[in-house]
Structure 1
Amino acid sequence: MAEPCTERLLKKNYYENCPGCKVDQYKELHRGFPIRELVSTWVVVLCTALPISSLFPFLYFMIRDFHIAKREEDIGYYAGYVGSSFMLGRVLTSVFWGIVADRYGRKPVIIMGTITVVIFNTLFGLSVNFWMAVTTRFLLGSLNGLLGPIKAYAGEVFREEYQALGMSAISTAWGMGLIIGPAVGGFLAQPAEKYPNIFSKESLFGRFPYFLPCLCISLFALAVSVATCWLPETLHMHGGKTLPDDLDEGLETGSCNSNINEKTEQIEGTGPTAKENLIKNWPLMSAIIVYCIFSLHDMAYTEIFSLWAVSPRSLGGLSYSTKDVGEVLSISGFGLLVFQFSLYPLVERFIGPTMIMRIAGVLSIPLLASYPFMTFLSGFSLTILLNCASLFKNVFSVSIITTLFILQNRAVEQHQRGAANGISMTAMSLFKAIAPAGGGAIFSWTQKRQDAVFLPGDQMVFFALNVVEAIGVLMTFKPFLAQK
């Protein structure tokens, strides 16, 4: 019998001794519909998305209770600072967490991120002043770096035919978190006032009126933290070095000597693939830039919608309560869930992800332009139109984000996905840090110009959102947006 091929011996040794390769056995054991991977990815992303925007329905009242704003019109400024502190923390640490995920694995970063939500989201609900709120939000953002690694994780744990579904699960969970979070905040904030038969003003939830929604999210994050201990590690490691995606293909070809030397160089970090500069990868960078523009828009919209809905009609708002806002966002969340898991994969298969992104961006512009005129409505007609508008707006936003997740992961190889998503998270977090501060400032400014001739009051703030959306749509076309 002929001596076995050196490459096959290397492959055999690799699979026997590398714990990271258990993910390949995992894929073989779960060759049907990836329901387990789908659920695990979905709950982890939902866990980290919930605290991002859960504060927006009650942030207006929280800032008012801190007595830091001298006038009611100035509340938006301080609300913006609290909202921005979370994303500022992410700006400073996202690349670091991406590098950690590439070196030590996706799983440790995911567990660390969920535990961070448990601790600092709870402390935020117990904030007694403005600076405590800002500090806890900053620490929550800086120590929770799992969104980038979870995108890399999904790109590795799902087989090729389910890649679009995996990325859709991430963007859906993210979008759902940005909708369910405010719904939870709206329903559960100030429980002693809304549900006096259950919570007294002398109880813990009466003394800390914004603690209950934070506590519920933290308890969910605690359960997710325990469950993540059973996640399979998807980073292929051997001797502390990353194994490139195409090693298996080279090992199967039988071209022993030249191919094995080239792959070994890449494993040791000296090959051309290992030295590829992500900054010079234009398909990746163009997708990240477009992602940043749409993220800026989405974060600003999320804050402005809640502030606009709860502000008094005399200042151009709807005079909604936090519970009313929670109801609107709950309906939007249910519709979004149905669309992303049933219709999005079918539409993506027929017209492609890029076309979905462009159509969604274009349709968002007239939809947002209609928001200021809803202040002339009341009762049932206002409820119906506002719920429909909110549902369509969130479906459009999540469809755009799903597309950009897919484009970013296609632009790099596996061994660079953690770092690439870390860069994406850093850039996106910077824009999302600007969004609440800028959105809050613009919102406060527009409330002071109710009698202006050009775009009075809230018309100006939604016009500003549409300008950002239009810029994002234009950047989805060639030559700016490149695809690998």
Structure 2
Amino acid sequence: MATPLPKKILFVLCLARLGEPIAYSVIFPFINSLVEGLSIVKDKSHVGFYAGLLEGAFSLSEILTIYFWGSLSDRIGRKPVIIIGLSGTAVSIVCFGLSTEFYQLALSRALNGALSGNVSVIKACLAEISDETNESRIMPMFNLMWSIGLVIGPLIGGYTSKPAEKFPTVFTSPFWKIYPYFLPCLIGSSIAFLSCLVTLFFLSETLQSKKRRDAEAILAAQIEQVPLLTPSPSTNHLPISPSSPIPNALTSNPPPETWTLKQILGTVSIRVVLLSYFFIVFLASSFDVLFVLFSYSAKKRGGLGLSDAKIAQLLMAGGVISAVSQLSIFPPLHRIFGTSRLYRACNGAFVLAFFIPLVLVVLPSSNTNGSLSGWEWGAVGMMVMVGRAAFLAFPLSMIALNIATPSPSALGSVNSINHILACISRGVGPALVGALFALSIKTSNPCRTGTWSGVKNGFSRVHYDDDDHREDHRPPALIVQASLPAPIPRSSTLPVSVPGTVEDSNSDGKGGSFQRSRRREEL
């Protein structure tokens, strides 16, 4: 029987996740026009360079600080780190809207990136409130909120920038002419601040060791208030019986160990999942770039020659397919096939998605007027569906990483390392695939890009399926039990008590515990 979803905590975490992508993407529609008006830009051809520097400042500061936030959440709890991140995001985007010089914009963007460490912390929270019966319903929410935020943010930025020009009867103050991009930044900041307030008042701490330390502090304060010596015979003893849970709460659960970076990277199972995720992100970001390039390029250059409107419609359809598949199709598929088999299938879907453009290039079109024929549109539709189906590898990677992490005290740090690798992969993948696509057009060999990506996909599968060096973090007794020749049903589980955790008996699904059952079927 599936564990009920912790709806309250899940809603708060989704709202917290939604605030950051909105604040991040709200500047996209007007960033080029904003940079063009700066005094440092002498030539319009340099606009792209300076806009790229601003995004580089965000990414660099995020990479340099995200491990700190993740490891900090392992020590002081998830909730305070999420609050710091959201409040910092709200302040930084307001500063961006009030900036009139390039260095001010760069500092604001760098501050935004430096305080965007919630991605790893929220992932850790989702792991702590889920178990193997409901994780397939919880994990897709993370990527869904990011996608929704990337839709809402640009809409806010596009429709509310330069309000003095678009709504002259409402925004009559000279302030809106001096700072024409402040309004969208203010709206994005308000959403982040609202998320911060909701987190502050309604999010329960999910890190079990933090819950225990808070309980110990309360108990210690209560003990200090009990009079040890009183003249009354009815109160000459402490009102604590030997069977009281207080001594057990103070002594039976030692503080969790602190995992260092060396210890985390020294765990083979974590390295396997991290490396596999690096290539999954590489393939996903490369596919997005390759799809747009392939759709836009003229047919004589090996593309489809589609208009901007058609490309936008295909991208929107892909977004809808992705949302529906993650919310409705992914949970039953995960229950039927499990993490490992479904992950391999997603890798195979990437191979097919990269192969379809090669078929469209090699096979001749039945239309001579340059438009796409019926079978070509069918192939394009299949490419969109298969490509978005392959994106189910993202929630699967989150589940795999949660299982591979040996201790709840390492969840924040491990997810931070995972995000750092994702940032690097998103930077390398699109640039490299774009260069290969240009090379394939130049050499009249459009097969190079797809073939090369397929090789990388195979490399990702090899590393993910390499079980010969997997480390088993279960207690020795369970390892011996698992090695017995007696057949065990596929659905059976072996309970594992992770050192430093507290047994959580929340039967109503409103709390989370990382004391999960390890699957008999390894990843």
Instruction: Establish whether TM, by shorter chain, passes 0.5.
Output: yes
Of residues 391, 404, 407, the one that matches 2:400 is 407
**AA partner of residue 204 (structure 2):** P
Unaligned runs of 5+ in 2: 217-242, 471-521
Of residues 451, 455, 459, the one that matches 1:471 is 459
Q: Which range is displaced more, 334-343 or 310-319?
A: 310-319
CA distance in 1, matches of 2:95, 2:298: 30
| Secondary structure of 2:117's aligned partner | coil
Question: Is 1:294 aligned to residue 293 of structure 2?
Answer: no
Is residue 81–residue 118 contact of structure 2 (8 Å, CA) maintained in 1? Answer: yes
Q: 1:62 to 1:348 in 2, by over 3 A?
A: farther
CA distance in 2, matches of 1:306, 1:466: 18
Of residues 159, 167, 176, the one that matches 2:139 is 167
Of residues 102, 113, 126, the one that matches 1:154 is 126
CA distance in 2, matches of 1:317, 1:194: 38
- C-alpha RMSD over aligned residues: 5.1
CA distance in 2, matches of 1:208, 1:383: 45
CA distance in 2, matches of 1:127, 1:369: 46
Could you tell me which residue of structure 2 aligns to residue 285 of structure 1? Answer: 271
For residues 227-266 of structure 1, the aligned pairs below 5 Å read: 227-229=198-200, 230-236=202-208, 237=210, 240=213, 264=251
For residues 237-386 of structure 1, the aligned pairs below 5 Å read: 237=210, 240=213, 264=251, 267-268=254-255, 277-302=263-288, 328-370=314-356, 377=371
Could you tell me which residue of structure 2 aligns to residue 27 of structure 1? Answer: none
TM-score by length of 1: 0.68
Question: Is 1:423 aligned to residue 410 of structure 2?
Answer: no
| Secondary structure of 1:232's aligned partner | coil
| Secondary structure of 1:472's aligned partner | helix
CA distance in 2, matches of 1:313, 1:59: 32
Of residues 226, 234, 243, the one that matches 2:197 is 226
CA distance in 1, matches of 2:55, 2:425: 9
Q: 1:366 to 1:276 in 2, by over 3 A?
A: closer
CA distance in 2, matches of 1:478, 1:120: 43
**AA partner of residue 70 (structure 2):** G
Larger Rg: 2
CA distance in 1, matches of 2:166, 2:206: 49
Is residue 89–residue 142 contact of structure 1 (8 Å, CA) maintained in 2? Answer: yes
User: How far does the alpha carbon of each residue in 1:323-367 deviate from its partner, in whole angstroms, 9 at most, with x for none?
Assistant: 876655444333322222211110000001222222122212332
CA distance in 2, matches of 1:461, 1:71: 32
How far has the Cα of 1:48 moved from its partner?
A: 2.9
CA distance in 2, matches of 1:462, 1:62: 37
**AA partner of residue 155 (structure 1):** A
Could you tell me which residue of structure 2 aligns to residue 181 of structure 1? Answer: 150
| Secondary structure of 1:267's aligned partner | coil
Q: Which range is displaced more, 102-111 or 205-214?
A: 205-214
Q: 1:187 to 1:45 in 2, by over 3 A?
A: closer
How far has the Cα of 1:478 moved from its partner?
A: 2.1
Unaligned runs of 5+ in 1: 1-30, 244-255
Q: Taking CA–CA contacts closer than 8 Å with sequence separation of 6 or more, which of the two structures ends up with the larger relative contact order?
A: 1
Of residues 82, 89, 104, the one that matches 1:110 is 82
Is residue 67–residue 416 contact of structure 2 (8 Å, CA) maintained in 1? Answer: yes
TM-score by length of 2: 0.63
Is residue 97–residue 182 contact of structure 2 (8 Å, CA) maintained in 1? Answer: yes
Could you tell me which residue of structure 1 aligns to residue 483 of structure 2? Answer: none
| Secondary structure of 1:164's aligned partner | helix
Q: Across the two proteins, how many residue pairs are aligned to each other?
A: 426
Question: Is 1:88 aligned to residue 75 of structure 2?
Answer: no
Q: Which range is displaced more, 371-380 or 180-189?
A: 371-380
| Secondary structure of 1:352's aligned partner | helix
Could you tell me which residue of structure 1 aligns to residue 72 of structure 2? Answer: 100
Question: Is 1:393 aligned to residue 387 of structure 2?
Answer: yes
Between structures 1 and 2, the one with greater helix share? 1
Identity among equivalent positions (%) equals 19
How far has the Cα of 1:224 moved from its partner?
A: 1.4
Is residue 183–residue 327 contact of structure 1 (8 Å, CA) maintained in 2? Answer: no
